[in-house]
Structure 1
Amino acid sequence: MRPINCGIALLVFSIGLSSAALSETATPDRVENFRLLDHDHSAHELYYHRDAKAVVLLATMNGCPIARNLMPDLRDLREQFGDDVEFMLINSSLQDNYETISEEVEEFGIDFPVLVDDAQLIGEALELDRSGEVLVIDTSDWSVAYRGPVNNRLGYETQREEASEHYLADALTAVIAGEPLTESRRGAVGCIINFPERDQKEAHAQISYADTIAPILKERCVACHVPNGIGPWAMTSYEMIQGFSPMMREVLRTRRMPPWEVDTSLPEIHASRGLTVDERKTLVHWIEAGSPRGEGGDPLLEVKPVEPGWPLGEPDLVVEAPAFDVPATGIVEYQYPAIANPLDHDVWVRAVSIEPGATKVVHHVLVGTSEREIPVGERRLDAVFENYLMAYAPGAESYVYPEGTGVLVKAGGQIHLQMHYTTYGREATDVSKIALYFHDEEPTYNLRQQVVVGYDLEIPPGDARHEERAYFEFDQPAIIYSLFPHAHYRGVETRFDVHLPDGSVEPLLHIPRYDFNWQHSYTLAEPLKVPAGARLVHRSVYDNSGANVANPDPARAVPWGLQSYDEMLYGGFFFRWENGTAENPVHDETDFQIAQMYGALDDDFSGALTVDEMPRQLREPFKAGKLTPFDADKDDALSHAEYRAFVDYRSAQRAKQEAAEAATKNQAETGTE
């Protein structure tokens, strides 16, 4: 896991290098890689389609009759060339946005992704002029093989019943065959797209580094790009920015930085780390103008190195994990060290910081506590979740709990860690430290953590868009504070929604481009109240195809697993019970864990576990009739209440057995009968 709190940004199509300063390195008509979100906020990357023979981009805008009329032609071409060609639309118009484009898609039944070029940087670079114009990009060298109309069927206020010239079809046939086109450029008809910044090169050269550019960088990027920071280079002067400007332009236009992509149409996220559309445009246009220095001082000279020490100040308690030697290569199994809790009194924790000893090998750390000492030989896998405190990953070293909340840590017992190490070619020894900060007085509320999890994953080989889902159902009113989605190398998109008892759905968080290397905790700007019976639903999309360059093995059916070569559906969240307080917790741990299990296994979301959905240890006993007495409604499934009755019965039987064993032992020791 690698959450982060700074950078530059993600999402773009680009072609060539358009500034005079950069033009010497440009390849004419070569389309550089890009990523854009479509009308549903799903991410699309151009070079992802390297296995296709060609990519077709059709410029569109809402309300353009020619673009609308071209949809049947484009569908016919997709039917004809679909195995070899990827078809997409791109909307760069100023007057359209995600909401209005989605409405257009719905109204006219458009079944192609419509890429939203909200900053117009891609349309500018592609030199788009009118909706209805189509580009054919040859993936063998990413050149624009054809630019022009789809065919000659449509004109201004006129249209033929059938086309007599099929320009796009002819171009695709030639590209797929590897043959030259007889005519690669044609004038297109359509609605003119306004690109007001396209002719503002002189104005872009007047953008102030001192007053405009440096302040954006200080606000959005310097937190990481600082001496001793997580960034690979430090933004400490104009000269540094000038030297890295071409690279900045690339990551801005592809939106690799900052590594933060959130669907902004959904509830606001606290301390959002992305660039605004205007900031992105300003930075790119300034760089394309040659990164002029201009007049004024250099605000970046004020940037200071990250000082050693705890970011939240002096902790109330610091504990040190046992030293662990990480080899130079290979896979390291998860480690579960336990640290004796040195406290002789109960405390309420208000914040946590984790400092890894060897940052290059510490992938993530989970920390929690237990009231008892768990022996080395006993399974510690789940001990960290008995009283969970936080998760660390680079860039997310600290967590300050919501105001008025805390986590009770009782005296004695142990502090448990889950350590995930990754090798990097050199041996290293890690000694991580955990810092705890305490409330002076008992907080009002007990902060709780739970996970929406799916254990029964099986992602088919080669599947590029496999979706898994699970839920957690609240049995009483709750307030949700933050969300943490997690998957591995095949995870590409993730969502959280709230399904309300009345059947309505409230989208809560959507990450269009999930990246295993940059994982974040998302704190809601306004905590969300949910009623009893509401379900927090977590969904993730996995790309197990060869087009996913991070995929360890596209030929493998991928199961659930802790190691990164397997996968997870894991949606952590912090919340509190609305009616609970520190003095009156209103918390039933058994129901709490049953709810997690149900959400993990209830594939059809029916609220009851059928035989095929049950955990393996219950399937055969249920089939054999041993659990049917608990199936009160005789529907061949176990509801929450029915399974709770079984759990209570089993607990009572276990208690009787333990009491009998204790009595027998006592008799043997005392000689009584």
Structure 2
Amino acid sequence: MKRSHKLGLTALGMAGAASVLALVAIAAPTPSKISLAGSRVDNFMLADQTGMGHELYYFKDAAAIVIVASVDGDATSKRAEAALVKLQSQYKDKNVRFVMLDSGLNSKRGQFDGKPGSAEIPVLADELQLVGRSLGVTTTGEAFVVEPKTWKVAYHGPIDGSFADKKVANGDVSTALNAVLAGKAPPVVEASFKGAKIDFPDRAKAADFAKISYSKDVAPILADKCVVCHTEGGMGPFKMDKFEVVKTMAPMIRESLRTGRMPPYHSDPH
């Protein structure tokens, strides 16, 4: 059975969400220029292929979380899913979570199959590419081992040697997981990988995003979608009446949009 499902961000509209998130400093790292190991992973909530929602910080008690980039129909992604199934079996009693992140532009959107929560490996639909951009994803099969105690990337690289661009001893997810589970830093925190390039058009628009005007581009969206509650005497916890206030609350606004807490369900006609 298929079900139609829309995530909370659609209430703002794709253009509106992009403008607001650009305002709140959603500058994604440039993967080719910096190391992603040690970077903090922001909270998000996305639906998987069965329609089940997954909020990252909900799994704060997990020993580790493995996120692997994918694209629907990609050969490397299919191999990566098979590799994760094996790893999941290997670590089934270790409280490790395994998910795939589909940030592909041409992936299926809004159509889900099966009983919610029945996916062997959840494939999260990164509909607006916000999570992929924030993580610094570039390639299918690219793996991130996240440590929930700090929400930082403990390892960034190939799943195993078959996904490596250049094989490096101990440069794999299993070795990284063993280290994290033992309370140690992985012997290798960054390793090169190979796979299909994932297109993130917004990365080329960084200069345009820098030109976004709060008064002309962002404030009208807030006035139309947010200020009805975020005003004096309103239900919102703070007033969106000044640029300084919105800028100060930027991290919370960003997380609220990504996790679908905002806009609240009763104000979202979609």
Same fold (TM over 0.5): yes
CA contact (8 A) 1:132 1:189 kept: yes
Report Cα offsets for 1:384-425 as digits up to 9, x if no partner: xxxxxxxxxxxxxxxxxxxxxxxxxxxxxxxxxxxxxxxxxx
Distance apart, 1:197 and its partner CA: 1.1
- Do 2:65 and 2:145's aligned partners in 1 also have CA atoms closer than 8 Å? yes
The answer for the alignment partner of 1:427 in structure 2 is none
Note the C-alpha offset of 1:149.
1.0
Q: 1:137 Cα shift?
A: 0.6
* Cα 1:179/1:246, change in 2 over 3 Å: closer
Equivalent residues in 2 for 1:292-441 (5 A)?
none
Q: Compute the displacement of 1:95 (Å).
A: 1.4
| Paired positions, count | 236
What letter matches 2:80 in structure 1?
L
**Rounded Cα–Cα distance in structure 1 between residues aligned with 2:213 and 2:265:** 26
Aligned partners of 1:74 and 1:58: how far apart in 2?
9
Distance change in 2, residues 1:49/1:247 (3 Å): closer
Taking the aligned partners of 1:204 and 1:154, their CA distance within structure 2 comes to 34
State the 1:44 CA deviation. Answer: 0.6
Query: In structure 2, what is the equivalent of residue 601 of structure 1?
Result: none
Give the deviation of 1:180 after TM superposition. 2.3
Matching residue of 1:129: 138
Compared CA separation, residues 231 and 185, structure 1 to 2 (3 A): same
More helix by share: 2
Q: Which amino acid aligns with 1:111?
A: E
Distance 1:110 1:130, change over 3 A: farther
1:141 aligns with 2:150: yes
Q: Identify which of structures 1 and 2 has the higher relative contact order when contacts are C-alpha pairs closer than 8 Å and 6+ apart.
A: 2
3-state SS of the aligned residue for 1:31? coil
Deviation at 1:32, TM superposition (A): 2.4
Conservation of the 8 A alpha-carbon contact between 1:226 and 1:234: yes
Q: Which amino acid aligns with 2:188?
A: E
What is the aligned partner in structure 2 of residue 168 from structure 1?
A: 173
In structure 1, what is the equivalent of residue 5 of structure 2? none
Deviations 1:286-319 (A, max 9, x none): xxxxxxxxxxxxxxxxxxxxxxxxxxxxxxxxxx
Residue in 1 aligned with 2:72? Answer: 62
Task: Percent identity, please.
Answer: 35
Q: Equivalent residues in 2 for 1:426-505 (5 A)?
A: none
Return closer, same or farther for 1:221/1:46 CA change in 2, 3 Å cut-off: same
Determine the structure 1 residue equivalent to 2:84.
Answer: 74
Deviation at 1:221? 0.9
Alignment CA distance shift 1:246-1:145 (3 Å): closer
Deviation at 1:230, TM superposition (A): 1.5
Instruction: Please state how far the C-alpha of 1:18 moved relative to its aligned partner.
Output: 5.2
- Cα RMSD of the aligned pairs, angstroms, is 3.2
* Separation in 1, partners of 2:139, 2:268: 35
Alpha carbons of structure 1 residues 80 and 176: separation in structure 2 relative to 1, 3 Å: same
Contact 2:140 2:196 in 1 (8 A): yes
CA deviation after TM superposition for structure 1 residue 19, in Å: 4.2
- Deviation at 1:141? 1.5
CA contact (8 A) 1:40 1:98 kept: no
Structure 1's unaligned 5+ residue stretches are 1-6, 10-16, 21-26, 157-163, 262-270, 275-673
Q: Which residue in 2 is equivalent to 1:287?
A: none
Distance 2:255 2:240 in 1: 17
Partner of 1:188: 193
Task: Give the one of 50, 68, 71 matched to 2:60.
Answer: 50
- SS, match of residue 188 in structure 1: coil
Report what 2:47 is aligned to.
Answer: 37
Task: Supply the AA of the counterpart residue of 2:69.
Answer: A
Given that residues 70 and 77 in structure 2 are in contact (C-alpha distance below 8 angstroms), is that contact kept between their aligned partners in structure 1?
A: yes
Q: Residue type of the partner of 2:61?
A: D
Quote the Cα distance in structure 2 between the aligned partners of 1:61 and 1:72. 14
Under a length normalisation based on structure 1, what TM-score does the superposition of the two structures give? Answer: 0.32
Q: 1:200 to 1:177 in 2, by over 3 A?
A: same
In structure 2, runs of 5+ residues without a counterpart are 1-10, 14-24, 29-36
Contact kept, 8 Å, 1:97 with 1:118, in 2: the verdict is no
Structure 2 counterpart of 1:297: none
SS of equivalent residue, structure 1 residue 57: strand
Q: Which has the larger radius of gyration?
A: 1
Give the counterpart of 2:159 among 150, 162, 175. Answer: 150
